[in-house]
Amino acid sequence: MCIRDRDTFIETFGPLYTPNDLQTFLTDVYSDQVVAEEVADPRLIHQVIEHQDELIAFIKIGSVHVPTKNPLPNAMEIWQIYVRQSFLGHGLGDHLMTWAFDQFALHQAPEIYVSVFSENERAIRFYQKYGFEKHGEYEFPVGDQIDLEWIMKKNSNSRE
């Protein structure tokens, strides 16, 4: 799964970074070892969608790891959600979010967080559709480049 996860990130964000910064980030976040550790981590839950034996969408959820102050006990976070560009607009993101909200309910998560690139308007609108609101921001390094990330939050009492 590692190479395809990398491909999804590159497809979505690759043009924003120098080749050096992109390679550094991919090595730090998508190396075989890092991905294997995350898949084996019982605190992280993954859901994938495949089409013709290719990974086309995935979501990873777990405990809160964005730098936010005082999340409630049992709060959870959407660590990543990606859909391949050629499959955008087919409802896969909504399908993954439905799955995620079922997981949040099972874990009785009182709050849900997500981190989103501040210039990714499509993703921001997507999260707003689900009731997420900007809660804070932080600097997110991709190699030597620093991006502004928004922390979005919602109470888990509803899906919308």
Residue holding tokens 């990714």? 120
Which pLDDT band, with edges at 50, 70 and 90, does 157 fall under?
Answer: low
pLDDT at residue 5, rounded to an integer? 65
Mean pLDDT of the chain: 87
Residue 118 lies in a domain: yes
Residue 56 lies in a domain: yes
Domain of 97, CATH number, reads 3.40.630.30
Residue 104 lies in a domain: yes
Residue 137 lies in a domain: yes
* Pairing mode, strands 133-142 and 111-117: unpaired
* Pairing mode, strands 45-51 and 54-63: antiparallel
Residue 65 lies in a domain: yes
Residue 20's identity, in one-letter code, is N
Give residue 120's domain range: 2-155
Q: pLDDT tens digits for 19-52?
A: 887 887 877 777 778 878 888 888 899 999 988 8
Mean pLDDT of 133-141: 94
Please give the helix or strand (H or E) that residue 28 lies within, else none. Answer: helix 19-30
pTM for this entry: 0.85
Residue 160 lies in a domain: no
Task: Report yes or no: 140 and 115 within 8 Å, Cβ to Cβ.
Answer: yes
Does residue 94 register a pLDDT over 60?
yes
Enumerate residues 6+ apart whose C-beta is below 8 A from 127. 114, 116, 152
Q: How far apart are CA 90 and CA 74, in angstroms?
A: 32
Q: What is the CA radius of gyration of the chain?
A: 15
Q: Indicate the number of domains in the chain.
A: 1
Which pLDDT band, with edges at 50, 70 and 90, does 1 fall under?
Answer: very low
Residue 95 lies in a domain: yes
Beta bridge partners of 111: 155
Q: Reduced to 3 states, what is the DSSP secondary structure of residue 47?
A: strand
